[in-house]
Chains A and B, each alone.
Chain A
Amino acid sequence: MLITLALISGAGLGSMYGLLALGFYVTYSVSNTVNFAQGSSMMLGAVLCYTFAVTWRWHPALSIVLALVLCALWGMLVERIAVRPFVVRGSNAWLMATVALGIVLENVTLFVFGKEPRNYPSVLADTPVEIAGFSLQPLQLIIPAVGLLTAAVMHAATRHSKAGKALLAIVQNADAARLMGIDVARAISLSYAASTVFAGIAGILIAPLFNVSSDMGTLFGIKAFAVAIVGGITSAWGVILAGLLYGILEALITGLLGSTYTQILTFAVVILALALMPNGLFGRAGVQKV
């Protein structure tokens, strides 16, 4: 009974890690850079949606859409000021710059949104429903469903839309893509927008369960990066699967041993996994032709 509960809540959280990790994948595959403000981007989605839907009482659908649009703009801003200036100079300082930008966002939110965690009331997280003898909140089932759906939509978009195919082309060979007339700079910008939209979706989904606060995303972002690496940051389905595995592992450890050991053991497993398979579970070693 405890195991099944752990599997269900683990799948929910795991799909959120997977969604955040998908964001890491999208930017890395196109530009070899990642947005280390991913955790804060998740918080941004939750905070914006809270402000629109709860503080200003706008329609929920409008709030969600607007929050995600603003997340996309934030992603493009991150790329423009914290990544592009360093990449064009061949520097790796975008690593620290995106971290710093994430911290700035968190603290700005602290001042503007407030110092306390707030509850996001949602009809999906209020009264539990009985399913197969288990008491669950509807949101706990919706979260993994939306997570997997988002990944599936992204997969389909890259295979069947022009923009998606352009993205794949850049992944294979950026210079050749540029020669074929594909706007690589714009594609990178869009990939950052996509990554923060994924983060925003994750934030909005878990807000009713976890409460909204300025620092809700920090630990999530770190874990999602670990998930992205373990999943093989060059494989989209790999990171999703790794996220699910990580979430379930976390929930099982908490369920069986208590939450005191959770962080220790899950990160120990991450280290072990990387020691055994350095390219991640589903990634492949990059081959550099000389």
Chain B
Amino acid sequence: MTILANMLNPTGRRLAAGCGVVVSLLVGASAAPAQEPIKIGLVAALSGGSAKSGEGITRGLTIAIDEINAAGGLLGGRKLMLLRRDDESNPANGQTAARELMDQEKVAAMFGGIDSPVALGIVPLANKEKVPFFSVWAAATPITRNGANPNYVFRVSAVDALVDKALVQYARKTFDAKNLGLALVNNPWGESNEKGLAAAAQEQGIKIAAVEKFEDRDVDMVPQLTRLKAANADVIVLVANAAPGAQVMKSLQRIGWSAPVISHWGISGGRFTELAGPWSQKVAFIQTYSFFGLQNPVGQKVLSALKAKYSDIKGPEDVVPPVGVANAYDAMRMVALAIANAGTTDGDKLRQALESIDRYEGLIKNYARPFTAENHDALNENDYIMVHYIGDNIEPIAMK
């Protein structure tokens, strides 16, 4: 442009500048009708041993967003746009990604992934920046019960304190457990469950034989399991994600100990059956939803949308993992409802709108006052189900 300008005499230059101004005004004017999208952020594990969890959450959010956009968007026709960032299960990466989404992209709301340590790292940032942050998988109790007031962190997912109660109860009722052996991953999520399981065991009158921990990247858990066996544990309670959980099962196979194994849902976030082999079928674990069996109208609608959009989903057995999809779908729809009610994407007003949602007929259940000022967890222990792997499919266990 400058070369051209230098070639013209002063009058010519002014003419060229004038034309430039007119052209950009015309272009700008014609672009005006396109509305600014409402940005929604997702910080989750999109790579590594729990990549499947990130994929499930993405699908749940996408189905919900597609529905909302097809119905005309929000706030006068603005479409929703999903921005995803991979936290690689690393809290530092998660915080960097969250900051970028909130400060640069100015997302209206953020969703989190499977890793509790990452979510716990994002919680103070979300509260500081006043951007609603939804956990749709990470279950550590202090994520929503974080002591902040006002609290911008919400959750449509399981809560460790309640999951631990359910797991202990299942161990008692199904296996008549008296001496639990805990095999926990050594991170804040493992710790959250250590507390929860201890409290639940005491409440329900059974003992904890021993607590053994392992690192997320460990491959050999034989020493820890040998010690649990020596402590006379009759049922093993496992809290780990897919990769270390699989190694626990492989180690169990190696020492030939066939104690029943009850697990939190971390193992469903990755290729557990492939990594653990045949002993993966022995684990009973917890979920908040199953696409098997009779679905409510929302469930049928979501299942059809999944089948239509993703070629690898031909039936409920292919929606793996179901919780990521279901939790994320309901959470996104509730955020949309709150945005519509609040009439704005302002963080503080959005938070208040979320706390005032009266009814939402959702996928997992019909929610009545899902969130209040004191309670930011939409699901409770009545919404959990126990499942197991049959082949690669997650199917409900018929309750005794």
Binding site for B on A (CB under 8 A): 1-2, 5-6, 9, 110, 115-119, 121, 126, 128, 135-137, 209-211, 213, 219, 251, 254-256, 258-260
Find chain A residues with CB under 8 A from B105 CB.
none
The total number of A-B Cβ pairs within 8 Å is 74
Q: Judging by beta carbons under 8 Å apart, are B223 and A110 in contact?
A: no
A213 to B226, CA, bound (A): 28
Task: For the A-B complex with A135-B256, A209-B219, A259-B218 known, give 6 more contacts whose Cβ atoms are closer than 8 Å.
Answer: A2-B223, A116-B271, A117-B275, A119-B277, A254-B223, A258-B223
The segment from B48-56, B123-131, B146-154, B169-177 that touches chain A is: B48-56
Find chain B residues with CB under 8 A from A135 CB.
254-256
Q: Per a CB cutoff under 8 Å, which of B48, B186, B212, B213 touches A116?
A: B48
- The number of chain B residues with a CB under 8 A from chain A is 30
Kindly state whether residue B46 has any CB partner on chain A within 8 Å.
Answer: yes
Kindly state whether residue B270 has any CB partner on chain A within 8 Å.
Answer: yes
Q: Judging by beta carbons under 8 Å apart, are A128 and B48 in contact?
A: no
With A136-B254, A137-B254, A260-B213 in contact, do A115 and B218 touch (Cβ < 8 Å)?
A: no
Q: Judging by beta carbons under 8 Å apart, are A119 and B254 in contact?
A: no
Q: Per a CB cutoff under 8 Å, which of B49, B256, B271 touches A128?
A: B256
Q: Judging by beta carbons under 8 Å apart, are B47 and A115 in contact?
A: yes
With A118-B274, A135-B254 in contact, do A211 and B223 touch (Cβ < 8 Å)?
A: no
Q: Per a CB cutoff under 8 Å, which of B48, B212, B274 touches A258?
A: B212
A6 to B48, CA, bound (A): 28
Q: Judging by beta carbons under 8 Å apart, are A119 and B223 in contact?
A: no
A136 to B251, CA, bound (A): 10
**Which residues of B244-279 have CB atoms within 8 Å of chain A's CB atoms?**
246, 253-256, 270-271, 274-275, 277
Q: Judging by beta carbons under 8 Å apart, are B277 and A126 in contact?
A: yes
Shortest CB-to-CB span from B337 to chain A, Å, is 33
Find chain B residues with CB under 8 A from A258 CB.
212-214, 223-224
Shortest CB-to-CB span from A111 to chain B, Å, is 10
Shortest CB-to-CB span from A227 to chain B, Å, is 18
**Which residues of B194-248 have CB atoms within 8 Å of chain A's CB atoms?**
212-215, 217-220, 222-224, 226, 243, 246
Q: Per a CB cutoff under 8 Å, which of B217, B222, B243, B246 touches A9?
A: B222
Find chain A residues with CB under 8 A from B48 CB.
115-117, 213
A256 to B223, CA, bound (A): 8
Instruction: For A130, give the chain B residue with the smallest CB separation.
Output: B256
